């Protein structure tokens, strides 16, 4: 194979540089490449070892987010000038602000001030997963509501980990659906409710994977549950996100701005 080896070099976790590299390389649809992340390159020694690895690899491309210009210079010694996000973006910002960048200025390593809040939010999401501890729903920032397998739990956990939001999730059971309305513990918190829905076909496929050929997974059952849930959401003007073609990241970003 004659594809490129794309190195993502970071003095931190590498999540941002990976994401930028993937997005930019998607603009070169014919390019074949494999991604190699080198995180925590935060000393000259680690940078030299990264540079040696890059130099020893055929067809390398290098993306980096290295705060320290000296480490960038070491990486550049591999003979492949890195696409460094700071190098490429900071000068434009400095020009607009009319003040120079301080390269190793305020790098936020380790635990940012909102860190404890995010971990608390994860514990909250776990404690109020799947209808648990409904007496604590008044402490939630958001309450995700929907039928079984609509994606409530991963979404609540992502909202917690990424944004520090305390998201509870509450399943609409066949009992709720037969009774004909949202349970009272939910209607007490209407402004914080967010409905999740998806296509009956997709829901049936998800349930089928879990309980093959069950009534629970049948298209008719899925359709009737989703219809009932939608009626409740409309009645109480609960904002609804249709998750059919969405990833957890997308659902979470929509909910955060809904």
Q: Does 89 bind a copy of itself (CB under 8 A)?
A: yes
Backbone region of residue 79 per phi and psi (left: phi > 0; alpha: psi in -120 to 50; beta: other values): left
158-177 positions binding a copy of itself, by CB under 8 A:
158, 161-162
37, 148, 187, 199: residue in contact with a copy of itself (rule CB under 8 A): 37
Q: How many CA atoms lie within 13 A of 173 on its CB side?
A: 4
51, 61, 74, 78: residue in contact with a copy of itself (rule CB under 8 A): 61
138-157 positions binding a copy of itself, by CB under 8 A:
151, 153-154, 157
How many angstroms from the chain centroid is the CA of residue 117? 17
Q: Does 27 bind a copy of itself (CB under 8 A)?
A: yes
Q: Does 29 bind a copy of itself (CB under 8 A)?
A: yes
Alpha carbon distance 125, 128 (integer Å): 5
Residue 155, Cβ density class (10 Å: 0-12 exposed, 13-18 middle, ≥19 buried): buried
Reduced to 3 states (helix: H, G, I; strand: E, B; else coil), residue 238 is: coil
Q: Please name the helix (run of DSSP H) or strand (run of DSSP E) that holds residue 7, with its range, or none.
A: strand 4-10
| In the complex, minimum distance from the CB of residue 67 to a copy of itself, in angstroms, rounded to a whole number | 7
Binding site for a copy of itself (CB under 8 A): 12-16, 19-20, 22-31, 37, 39-40, 61, 65, 67, 81, 83, 85-86, 88-90, 92-94, 96-97, 99, 101-103, 105-108, 110-112, 115, 118-119, 122-123, 126, 129, 151, 153-154, 157-158, 161-162, 245-250, 252-254, 257
């Amino acid at each position: 194979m004659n594809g490129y080896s794309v190195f993502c070099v970071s003095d931190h976790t590498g999540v941002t540089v990976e994401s930028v590299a993937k997005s930019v390389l998607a603009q070169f649809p014919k390019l074949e490449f494999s991604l190699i992340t080198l995180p925590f390159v935060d000393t000259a020694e680690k940078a030299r070892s990264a540079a040696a690895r890059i130099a020893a690899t055929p067809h390398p491309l290098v993306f980096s987010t290295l705060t320290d210009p000296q480490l960038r210079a070491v990486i550049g010694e591999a003979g492949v000038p890195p696409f460094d996000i700071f190098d490429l973006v900071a000068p434009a910002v400095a020009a607009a602000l009319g003040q120079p960048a301080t390269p190793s200025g305020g790098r936020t390593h380790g635990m940012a001030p909102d860190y404890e809040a995010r971990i608390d939010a994860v514990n909250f999401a776990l404690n109020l997963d799947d209808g648990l501890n409904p007496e604590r729903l008044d402490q939630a920032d958001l309450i995700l509501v929907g039928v079984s397998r609509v994606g409530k739990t991963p979404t609540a956990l992502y909202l917690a980990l990424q944004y520090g939001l305390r998201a509870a999730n509450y399943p609409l059971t066949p009992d709720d659906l037969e009774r004909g309305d949202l349970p009272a513990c939910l209607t007490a918190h209407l402004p914080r409710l967010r409905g999740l829905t998806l296509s009956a076909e997709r829901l049936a496929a998800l349930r089928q994977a879990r309980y093959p050929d069950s009534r629970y997974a049948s298209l008719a059952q899925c359709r009737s549950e989703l219809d009932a849930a939608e009626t409740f959401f409309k009645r109480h003007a609960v904002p609804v996100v249709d998750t059919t073609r969405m990833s957890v990241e997308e659902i979470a970003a929509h909910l955060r701005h809904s």
